[in-house]
Amino acid sequence: MINIQYQQRIESTLSMVPVGAVVSYGQLADLAGLPGKARLIAKYLKSSETQINWHRVIRSDGKIAFPENSEQANDQRRRLLSEGVLVTNNRVRMASFQWQPDMYTLLEKLRY
């Protein structure tokens, strides 16, 4: 079980990722004030009943973490495509779609 404070940080941060953008597990951990906890993020999203933008979280190399053609991968790909995120060969081009929060968001909204 994950600490309730960590859960709140993860969900709050993930709720800020805009439509048409993605974050990596590690980036989400860093932004949530949990540096080095990318696996914790993955574990939480896997076990959580929350559905807040989970599809916007991918591996740092841009790949969807689920096995190709699995139900989860197809669902994630479908959701990303519906938001305008191009997915090619189960991969998102991070240089084009990775969320880069502005300074205000970093200093004020993501203060943990």
Quote the pTM value: 0.91
> What CATH number has the domain spanning 4-97?
1.10.10.10
Residue ranges of the domains in the chain?
4-97
3-state secondary structure the chain: CCCHHHHHHHHHHHHHCCCCCEEEHHHHHHHCCCCCCHHHHHHHHHHCCCCCCHHHEECCCCECCCCCCCHHHHHHHHHHHHCCCCEECCEECHHHHECCCCHHHHHHHCCC
Query: pLDDT digit of tens for each residue in the chain (112 aa)?
Result: 688 888 989 999 999 999 999 999 999 999 999 999 999 999 999 887 767 899 999 999 999 999 999 999 999 999 999 999 999 999 999 999 999 998 888 777 777 6
Please report the pLDDT score of residue 3 as a whole number: 86
Please report the pLDDT score of residue 46 as a whole number: 86
